[in-house]
Structure 1
Amino acid sequence: MNLLENIREAFRSVKSNLLRTILTGLIIAIGITSLVGMLTAIDAMKAQIEESLSGFGANNFDVRSKGFSGGRARSSGIAPKNYPNITYREATEFKERYNERGVSSITTFVSGSAEVKKGSKKTNPNSRIIGGDDNYFLIKGVAIEKGRNFSNVELSYGNNVCVIGTEIQQTLFDDTEDPINQYISFYGRRYTIVGIMEKQGGVGGDSGADRAIIIPILNARNLDSRGSFRYTITIAGQDPLRLQYEMGQATGIMRSIREDGVGMEDSFEVVKSQTLGESLEEIAGYLRIGGFGIGFITLLGASIGLMNIMLVSVTERTREIGIRKAMGATPLRIRQQFLIEAIVICVMGGILGVIMGIGIGNIVGNTVGPGGFLVPWVWIIFSFIVCIVVGLVSGLIPAYKASKLDPIESLRYE
């Protein structure tokens, strides 16, 4: 009995035990559906979110102080150098010069542990105070849900106005109360609320973006009594293909402002901003790990069920195995026969599981927003490889047991 005949016999055996094959295939199909379905849904949702947020920060880059974590940098790994931070004057001068080429925004981080008060109500000391200009919300991709942006007068004079996050609103104001033009206070100063940012949410319980308060950049500078604030300029790139060129232009402008001599290294950093897409890819990676875990557990149960059914099949076909051995079938061919049967059942279940997984995954993914139909070829190929591996593992013990049966004893089996 050659390999081709074993394949034919596997299909004949599958056909003769159709109900058992269908039930076994469904076990595998459920495992593959959970695996392909979850991975397809993750990719589909990621594609939809990336499409809807494609313009937010995709081509942004930052000009910031050297050694942003501590202001120190190493030159050739020999001796540490201490570079002065970018000052407010340098940041504003850069923005004025770069306005001829594109849009830029100056920001500074005032505090991440501020306590905000309104009358007798107050927040936990974990509110973020950020100084920003008129382009902050445009470049950061944050919409103002209610109210307005800062006016030119408020920015020019550094007025005590602010735009707050939804968590600040929920903590300090009642549901029926309109926060616009109301007063809140922090750092001993009273600020007028002119806008409320849309809810942004967070990952892993971190909703810091919703408990942020944005104030005019000049007002933030006035809070810097020790002159220790770091100012970052974020530039919105015009063309992804020209991003390196635009970063080079920004480098030249800042070198001129900071008077970095010819041949000297930059006393600042120009780095590409982390985009929403990159953040989303990181989140999707964790979700894929979870999808793999759930799919693996399901397929493990399916493989145990398949192995049990194949062992029952060996017992039922003991006399048939004895006849084949009496006619000259070698233990290798007997093993091949049962392994091929297990693989055929797995592949048939895998085909059904892939079809169901793609359908369910796209339905779930498109609940995020209307979009196209995603066919995850990588996961399809991967699922069929998994099916073959599961078939081999599940059929190995039954096939080995069948190949070791004594032909005489097998012929006498009733």
Structure 2
Amino acid sequence: MDIIENVKEGINSIKANKLRTILTAAIIAIGITSLVGILTAIEGIQSSINDSFSNLGANTFDIESKRANRGSRDGKTAKVFPPLTYDNLLRFKEKFTAGQVSINAAVTWTAEVTYASQKSNPNIRVQGGDYDYLVVDGYDISEGRSFSQAEVTNGAMVVIIGSEVKKSLFANDENPIGKEIKFLGGKFKVIGMLGTQGGSGGDDSIDRMCLVPTLTARKLAAGRRLNYEVTVAVNDPEKMDAATGLATGLMRAIRRDPVKSESSFEVKVNQSLAERLGEITGYLRIGGFTIGFITLLGASIGLMNIMLVSVTERTREIGVRKALGATPLKIRQQFLIEALVICQMGGLGGIVLGIAIGNLTSGLISDGGFVIPWVWIIFGVVVGMIVGLISGYLPAYKASKLDPIDSLRFE
């Protein structure tokens, strides 16, 4: 019951000094707002960064034929593995459920494309891709449409062109959709055009690409063996390891690789982008936490100062309580409870403001959605309690050590 009475006395004291309580809670609220707000904004920005890096391939990996090592090692000739076949990859796509799968193959990087009397340079990339190719690799259609499932299944003579191909063949902003262009001995109907991606270097720029269905690419190869590969997109980059492990096991089963032997194919994960994403997020969190912690430290010092002033103002009250039998422990409890209540009031207000300001900031500088960081909310409540205990202990200790006779004489 003594603790309950102390809680009531602490709350009554807070009510009796509303202005001081509001100012003190505001100091804590500002500190918590800074901490939670910055970290909430970082969570929202991270969501936007995840989407951006996904479009750059941070959530994808490729499975392709294994290249034979040149020469020999320890007197042994390097083992040569048979290349991946279209049937291998088709079976893989049918059975793999942990991500979106695209089967693709490059036909040539030196094609010459013609339309009417216009002709491109012989540096056009002809690429075969299926229905999921554009989605998996993060390319956008700016005009027209993507392949239909029927066109992919039947190997239709349709093509999606890059922006550089349009500039080379279609003058005066002529709409290429529905027109027929020629390359590699075939006529193709243009059904879509890719948005400008920017040069990726060399002759394999997406802007200089003609994309045809994978089965159509097989026809264009004219009996030549294509180097097929699959690209797998995982929704969550953090589940990349699990997805690559599952894909490796499934492909080994399809290829019938013996147990304990090396895989007859290669799995390539875009580690550079994924690792860079982790580094950026880590730096943002460290910086945000440091700034928020420094602000909160200043708020705790302000709280301690106000509580010390409160002890001085209430010296006679403390003397009366001690004269009536209050022990030093009860005096300490009263002041600690006051500090804790004030901190939690400020902490809850700071959490609400922090979430609002953090999401507003995130929305202004990125495309991140509304985020409620439950971890940081719990952290804010705990920090508020710790700040109250630390900031309130010195004033409470000072109050408990006051001499009751001197306190009653205090003016």
Q: Shorter-chain TM-score: what band?
A: 0.5 to 0.7
Give the counterpart of 1:104 among 102, 105, 123. 102
1:234 match: secondary structure = strand
Q: How far, CA to CA, are the matches of 1:403 and 1:317 in structure 2?
A: 12
Tell me: CA distance 1:316–1:104, structure 2 relative to 1, closer, same or farther (3 Å): same
- Deviation of the 1:296 alpha carbon: 0.7
Say which of 139, 143, 148 aligns to 1:142. 139
Distance in 2 separating the partners of 1:294 and 1:306:
19
Question: How has the CA–CA distance of structure 1 residues 15 and 196 changed in structure 2, closer, same or farther, with 3 Å as cutoff?
Answer: same
Give the structure 2 partner of residue 290 of structure 1: 287
Q: Is the 8 A contact 1:83 1:267 kept in 2?
A: no
Map 1:355-374; keep pairs closer than 5 Å.
Answer: 355-367=352-364, 368-369=366-367, 374=371
Asked if 1:392 corresponds to 2:364, the answer is no
**2:251 corresponding residue in structure 1:** 250
1:75 maps to none
CA distance in 2, matches of 1:18, 1:380: 26
* SS at structure 1 position matched to 2:263: coil
Conserved? CA contact 1:105–1:139, under 8 Å:
no
Moved more, 331-340 or 56-65: 56-65
Q: Which moved more, 1:7-16 or 1:277-286?
A: 277-286
2:312 matched residue in structure 1: 315
State the TM-score, normalizing by the size of structure 2: 0.61
Please list every run of 5 or more consecutive structure 2 residues that lacks an aligned counterpart in the other structure: 71-75, 107-124, 147-160, 165-172, 174-191, 212-226
Query: What is the TM-score with the length of structure 1 in the denominator?
Result: 0.60
Say if 1:271 and 1:55 are closer, same or farther in 2 by CA, change over 3 A.
Answer: same
Contact 1:346 1:391 in 2 (8 A): yes
8 Å CA contact 1:86–1:231 kept in 2: the answer is no
Structure 2 partner of 1:28: 28
Structure 1 residue identity aligned to 2:23: L
How far did residue 252 of structure 1 move? 3.5
- Distance of 2:105 and 2:79 partners within structure 1: 19
**CA separation of 1:385/1:101 partners in 2, compared to 1, >3 Å: closer, same or farther?**
closer
- Give the drift of 1:143: 2.9
Deviations 1:183-239 (A, max 9, x none): xxxxxxxxxxx9886569xxxxxx989xx945799xxxxxxxxxxxx996424589x
Q: 1:370 to 1:335 in 2, by over 3 A?
A: closer
Q: C-alpha separation between the residues in 1 aligned to 2:296 and 2:200? A: 39
1:412 and 2:409 matched = yes
Aligned twin of 2:377: 380
Could you tell me which residue of structure 2 aligns to residue 40 of structure 1?
A: 40
Count of aligned residue pairs for this structure pair: 338
User: How large is the RMSD of aligned CA atoms in angstroms?
Assistant: 5.7
3-state SS, counterpart of residue 405 of structure 1: coil
- Using the alignment, how far apart are the partners of 2:85 and 2:229 within structure 1? 7
Deviation at 1:392, TM superposition (A): 0.6
Deviation of 1:362 after TM superposition, in Å, equals 3.1
CA distance in 1, matches of 2:39, 2:321: 44
Contact 1:57 1:275 in 2 (8 A): no
CA contact 1:50–1:277 (8 Å) conserved in 2: no
Q: Distance in 2 between matches of 1:396 and 1:107?
A: 70
Distance 1:277 1:285 in 2: 13
Q: Which residue of 1 aligns with 2:16?
A: 16
